[in-house]
A and B are shown apart, each in its own frame.
Chain A
Amino acid sequence: MTLRIRGVRKSFGQVEVLHGIDLLAEKGEVLAVVGANGAGKSTLIKILAGAQPASEGELWLDGERLDLRSPHDAHEAGIRTVYQELTLVPELTVTENLLIGSLPRRAGLIDWAAAHRRAQELLDELGFGAVRATTKAGRLSVARQQMVEIAKALVSEPKVLVLDEPSAVLAGSDLDSLFALVRRLQERGVIVIYISHRLAEVAALANSIVVIRDGTVVATTTPAETDESELIALMAGRRLERIYPDRRPAAGDTVLSVRGLTRAGEFEDVSFELRAGEIVGLFGLVGAGRSELAHCLFGDTRPDGGSVRLDGAELQPDGPRAAIRSGLALVTEDRKRTGIVASMTVRDNIALATMRATMRGPLIDGARQGARVAGMVRRFDIRPAHSAAMRIDRLSGGNQQKAILAKWLLAGPRVLILDEPTRGVDMATRVDIYRTVDELARSGCTVLLISSDLTEVIGATDRVLVMHDGRIAGELDSAGATEDQVLARSIGEAAA
């Protein structure tokens, strides 16, 4: 039995994110797929899971060409995927979550005793005996829920099991159970596709390792032939050609000073300073606490300890309104959920944070507001050019993002926090965004650029702060920094 992926490409609109992936996995093999955020791992997983069809290329399993158009197709073909996000129904018991659709019946009614027995047997057999089948899924810890997710994927005895960052929420003995399970599956002949950031784990478990970068397989190797530092270098790759404006770090006065900022479970003892006219990158892997820190700086959540000073005066965490008055602005990570008002026009969206800036008596001066918005549409080259009266959700993602930036620029912020501003944004729009951010900084605004894109976090900034596990794990000068230095700090390694 062989799983073969040949020349798989995937495009979203005009943007191709996978440029012809080839993979090969034999029966009983653990194939690790590693790569930086945005390398294309998740897209590849979705193709395997049938959640998104490939634009081009072939999938073969056991000598059969697969045509996966839905998750159901993938299940039928014997491919099961366990995602990072949990999908259990919290109100139902573990038994129901596991056996839903195939609950044993007696005289037309569900035979609960038999169902619980079967579910418990399954869990015990997988080494997850710590989970009780009769518990409601929502009452389990995240780690235990993850175990149930894996068990659920194995109920139908799949030929291929795809695990997306399975260890992210596991620790200690739970992690040991997971490893033992993977080895057992291997003996049974299951093909395991194992996606992980944790390179040590990959080295211990995998038969072979595939490194993906920018939508391309850049290396296929084995744990014996490589080591962690080589993998990091492969993941980071070489720097792209310069699409970033030339930065000459400004040595302005300290504007924002963060001291010992702590929020339990999110980040701990975070201290740094931002100077006027500076662009500072903040890099970290998913779960490192970057976005949580951004929301706390913006006054959206209250810190448990520490302080934030703006121009020497302590900022009180009194909500976004107070933060905006003090001169902060936050472009959030999730454009759809917290960035735009989809039902309103581009104009309404751009003017949203500054409606009171163009008043005439009790009314908004439509002409002045329109002129301000039109100025921003031109400055950012938001397309189509007459889009001000269009609903914002008719625009492409990149243009929506430009409109969100425009909204905050109108507020004239002193400190602009950008959380993943270029996620899902095409290259041309990225360049526009970098250029605008650079202009802003030159005019004295301070920018904190949160990003999980290595090239961007170094290329578009003056300095990079690296977060790991809720703490600032390092600071690097962008001019001399390499991507592997940043990546190494973000996974808790010493300087490479």
Chain B
Amino acid sequence: MTSQTAPPPVEDERRTPRRQLPRLVVGGRDVTSGVGFVVALVLLVVLAAVTTENFLTEQNLTNLLRQMVTVGLLAYGMLVVILTAGIDLSVGSVVAFSGIVSAGLVADLPIPLALAVGVAAGIGFGLVNGLLIAGFDLAPFVVTLAALTTIRGLAFVYSEVPIAPEDPGFFTLGTALAGPIPVPTLIMIGVFVVGGIFLTRTPAGRAIVAIGGNRETVRLAGISVKKHLVLAYTISGTCAGLAGVILASRVGIAQPSVGVAFELDAIAACVIGGASLAGGRGSVRATLGGVIVLSLINNLLNLHGVQSFWQQVLKGLIIIAVIIVQRRSMGERA
């Protein structure tokens, strides 16, 4: 009698169940089915193709595919964390640390091992973030903000100057092509596919999504909230480590200062993809869509030779515009 505020029952019997295609929607609606999203994507592509001569060249498209890898990997990890109602601000610093460590180790270790150590560093940082957040019940924002500065500092401690390994084997991972498609892009797509299956089809993935919806309910259902929070941050750290190693390998030079504000691009990609920062809602496919939109914007501005500070300004405004268009077309709150 006290709490009769439940929403009115939906009695819409005519609505047929949605097609049961394998969806990579993990909570709530799939944003990529939203008209606004498709419109935004098409608009960007048309705009790029019409206003520039170079957009549709093979070289530019390959570049585009390569450049989206970093944000893409970070965005998947960020999505996992955001689904738990958390945030990982440390990923940009992890990119720098993993890159510079693997570049530095090339002198002493076999290349695959040096790269593996870079990724392992990302796993380790993610694990520590997760343990601090879950174990001490600390706010994710605060912990990963502290990690952002700590890890950035560690990257400079490791090497104040950029490291450019001379062994050409170091560039293989970042620059290899499989047919017309860059290998890093395939790795990123692999992460999204496996990651999508993880979030939709495994108990751990479902638990992560559920935690963001209502962690008390999850806990009382006998599922360890802490364990899954640690897992989520470890996944994010792993993605960041991988992104850092691939970036260093692609550019051929690892800088301790790289990756500043990358976390914001990753968050933006998730949000453009309809993820809710309150947790429990987000889509793997739409996040990939968000990554593509962001990369298109970057590419477009580069082709137009827009000065980099103006790029930042325009990018911010475009992100807001995309989100507004998209949410309005979905009829949901922004």
Q: Which A residues lie at the B interface, using CB under 8 A?
A: 12-13, 15, 17, 38, 40, 42-43, 298, 300, 320-321, 323-325, 330, 332, 335-344, 348, 351-353, 355-356, 359, 362-364, 366, 383-386, 388-391, 393-397, 399-400, 407, 423-424
Contact = CB atoms under 8 A, between A and B. Distances in A.
B281 interface: yes
Interface stretch (B52-60, B61-69, B167-175, B211-219): B211-219
B224 A394 contact: no
B213 A15 contact: no
Interface in B1-50: 1-4, 6-13, 16-18, 27-28
Nearest to B206: A355
A258 to B, nearest CB: 20
Nearest to A401: B6
A481 B3 CA distance: 29
Contacts of B9: 13, 383-384, 394-396, 399
A366 B9 CA distance: 26
Contact of A341 (B3, B210, B276): B210
A321 B16 CA distance: 37
Chain A to chain B: the 3 pairs with minimum beta-carbon distance, closest first: A12-B4, A343-B280, A396-B9
B1 A320 contact: no
B220 interface: yes
B206 A348 contact: yes
A366 B210 CA distance: 17
Contacts of A388: 17
B8 A344 contact: no
Interface stretch (B72-80, B102-110, B178-186, B195-203): B195-203
B145 interface: no
Contacts of A38: 1
Given A343-B280, A343-B281, A386-B17, A424 B218 contact: no
Contacts of B317: none
A355 B201 CA distance: 10
Contacts of B221: 320, 324, 352-353, 407
Contacts of B12: 384
B222 A384 contact: no
Contact of A364 (B203, B218, B220): B203
B207 interface: yes
A198 B209 CA distance: 46
A364 B2 contact: no
Given A321-B224, A362-B202, A397 B210 contact: no
Nearest to A330: B220
A424 B280 contact: no
A391 B222 CA distance: 22
Nearest to A13: B8
Contacts of A323: 222
Given A42-B1, A395-B10, A400-B6, A353 B214 contact: no
Contact of A397 (B4, B11, B218, B220): B4
B189 interface: no
Interface of B: 1-4, 6-13, 16-18, 27-28, 197, 201-203, 206-207, 209-210, 212-214, 216-224, 276, 279-281
Contacts of A344: 27, 209-210, 213, 280
Given A342-B214, A344-B213, 12 more contacts: A38-B1, A321-B223, A335-B3, A340-B217, A344-B210, A348-B209, A352-B217, A393-B7, A396-B6, A397-B4, A400-B6, A407-B221
Contacts of B17: 386, 388-389
B7 A384 contact: no
B206 A364 contact: yes
B142 to A, nearest CB: 20
A339 B16 CA distance: 27
Contacts of B18: 389
8 contacts: A42-B1, A43-B1, A320-B222, A332-B220, A338-B214, A338-B220, A355-B203, A385-B13
Nearest to B203: A355
A372 to B, nearest CB: 14
Nearest to B16: A386
Contacts of B1: 17, 38, 40, 42-43, 423-424
Given A352-B221, A394-B7, A424-B2, A337 B216 contact: yes
Contacts of A400: 6
Nearest to A426: B4
Nearest to B210: A341
B10 A384 contact: yes
Contact of A423 (B3, B212, B213, B279): B3
A366 B201 contact: yes
Contact of B28 (A364, A389, A391): A391
A353 B222 contact: yes
A336 to B, nearest CB: 7
Contacts of B3: 335-336, 397, 423-424
A341 B201 contact: no
A394 to B, nearest CB: 5
A366 B197 CA distance: 12
A363 B201 contact: yes
Q: Which of A40, A321, A388 has the most CB of B within 10 A?
A: A321
A43 B5 CA distance: 12
A382 B203 CA distance: 24
Contacts of A396: 6, 8-9
A458 B97 CA distance: 66
A351 B217 CA distance: 13
A396 to B, nearest CB: 4
A364 B220 CA distance: 21
A400 B8 CA distance: 12
B218 A352 contact: yes
A323 B210 CA distance: 20
A17 B4 CA distance: 10
A44 to B, nearest CB: 11
Contacts of A393: 6-7
A384 B217 contact: no
A43 B4 CA distance: 10
Contacts of B8: 13, 396
A178 to B, nearest CB: 24
B210 A340 contact: no
A56 to B, nearest CB: 17
B203 A384 contact: no
A261 B13 CA distance: 49
B201 to A, nearest CB: 4
B206 to A, nearest CB: 6
A363 B213 CA distance: 22
B4 A320 contact: no
A348 B208 CA distance: 12
Nearest to B10: A394
A90 to B, nearest CB: 20
Nearest to B209: A344
Contacts of A364: 201-203, 206
Contacts of A424: 1-4, 6
A330 B12 CA distance: 32
Nearest to A390: B10
Contacts of B27: 343-344
Q: Which of A300, A352, A366, A393 has the most CB of B within 10 A?
A: A352
A396 B3 CA distance: 12
